[in-house]
């Protein structure tokens, strides 16, 4: 099981949701040398109004890439399905705090599976809900759009939320953001404390995905 890269770096995590599934392997290969984390958006048509893909796809691509596979579970029952995602090759699993009654129990389930643990908040969920469990996770994922679809507009209050979460985190924990990240929003959100940026359409929607990743990082380091 791979570990999240140690903190102190800006990581770009491309979301394959925006890739062309007809040539998925080639798309990932095009960016593999530029990244450490690959973001896998799992949607069940219930927690969010869209359906994406499941463990079968992860299992198929797993042997071809030595990257940290970051499964973002936008599903109603992460408790039930987490073991299947770990078995398929996810190195880290992020669940939504809105989807579980007992986040502590969910964290324990993920620890027992040996995966890195992420917890995600939708844009309107109060950041204070993280207080009882934030010390126990490896990464917080603040959604910067309503989860469900790629290509949406970055929500304006996201930097404020990230600043608040960053204050609650230790410096060995990552703060990931997801949705509407491109060269203009990336520096704004890293200045607010995010260090792990998911981007779908800004990378896979473009003719030269590796150049887009380099541009994202460059803009954040300016």
Q: Enumerate the active-site residues.
A: 41, 178
User: In the chain, how long is the greatest CA-to-CA distance?
Assistant: 44
Of 80-88, 105-113, 199-207, 211-219: span binding ligand DX5 (CB under 6 A): 199-207
**What x/- string results for residues 15 through 34 when contact with ligand DX5 is judged by CB under 6 A?**
x-xx----------------
Q: Which one of residues 19, 27, 37, 41 is an interface residue with ligand DX5 (CB under 6 A)? A: 41
Measured CA to CA, the distance from residue 190 to residue 9 in angstroms comes to: 11
Q: Are 58 and 88 in contact (CB under 8 A)?
A: yes
Q: Spell out, one character per residue from 49 to 88, where the chain touches ligand DX5: x when CB under 6 A holds, - when not.
A: -----------------------x----------------
**Residue least distant from ligand DX5 (Cβ):** 200
Assess 178 for contact with Zn ion (CB under 5 A): yes
Our finding on whether 70 is near Zn ion (CB under 5 A) is no
Beta carbon of residue 52, minimum distance to ligand DX5 (angstroms, whole number): 9
Do residues 31 and 209 lie in contact, with contact meaning Cβ atoms separated by under 8 Å? yes
Q: What share of the chain is helix, strand, coil (3-state, %, to 5)?
A: 40, 20, 40
- The tokens describing 160, both together, are 């404020």
SS3 of residue 118 by DSSP: strand
In angstroms, rounded to a whole number, what is the distance separating the alpha carbons of residues 134 and 122? 15
42 vs 110 by CB, closer to ligand DX5: 42
Cβ 181 to ligand DX5, closest distance in Å? 5
Q: Which position among 99, 127, 202, 220 is part of the footprint of ligand DX5 (CB under 6 A)?
A: 202
Q: How far is the CB of 147 from ligand DX5 (least distance, A)?
A: 4
Q: How far apart are the first and last CA of the chain?
A: 34
> What are the distances in angstroms from CA 98 to CA 48, 123, 128, 168, 185?
12, 11, 13, 19, 26
Note whether 209 binds ligand DX5 by CB under 6 A.
Answer: no
Q: Establish if 118 lies at the interface with ligand DX5 (CB under 6 A).
A: no
Which residues face 93 on adjacent strands? 71, 117
Least distance CB 182 / ligand DX5 (angstroms): 8
Interface residues with Zn ion (CB under 5 A) are 41, 72, 178
């Amino acid at each position: 099981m791979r570990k999240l890269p140690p903190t102190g770096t800006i990581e770009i995590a491309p979301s394959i949701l925006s890739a062309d599934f007809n040539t998925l392997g080639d798309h990932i290969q095009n960016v593999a040398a530029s990244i450490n984390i690959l973001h896998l958006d799992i949607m069940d048509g219930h927690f969010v109004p869209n359906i994406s893909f499941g463990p079968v796809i992860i299992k198929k691509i797993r042997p071809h890439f030595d990257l940290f596979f970051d499964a973002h579970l936008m599903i109603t029952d992460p408790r039930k399905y987490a073991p299947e995602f770990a078995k398929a090759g996810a190195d880290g699993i992020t669940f939504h705090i809105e989807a579980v009654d007992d986040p502590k129990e969910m964290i324990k389930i993920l620890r027992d599976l040996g995966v890195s643990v992420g917890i995600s908040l939708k844009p309107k969920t109060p950041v204070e809900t993280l207080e009882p469990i934030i010390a126990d996770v490896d990464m917080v994922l603040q959604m910067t759009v309503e989860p469900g679809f790629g290509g949406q507009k970055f929500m304006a209050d996201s930097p404020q939320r990230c600043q608040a979460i960053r204050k609650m985190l230790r410096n060995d924990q990552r703060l990931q953001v997801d949705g509407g990240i491109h060269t203009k929003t990336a520096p704004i959100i890293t200045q607010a404390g995010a260090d792990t940026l998911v981007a779908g359409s800004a990378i896979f929607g473009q003719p030269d995905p590796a150049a887009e990743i380099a541009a994202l990082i460059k803009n954040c380091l300016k």
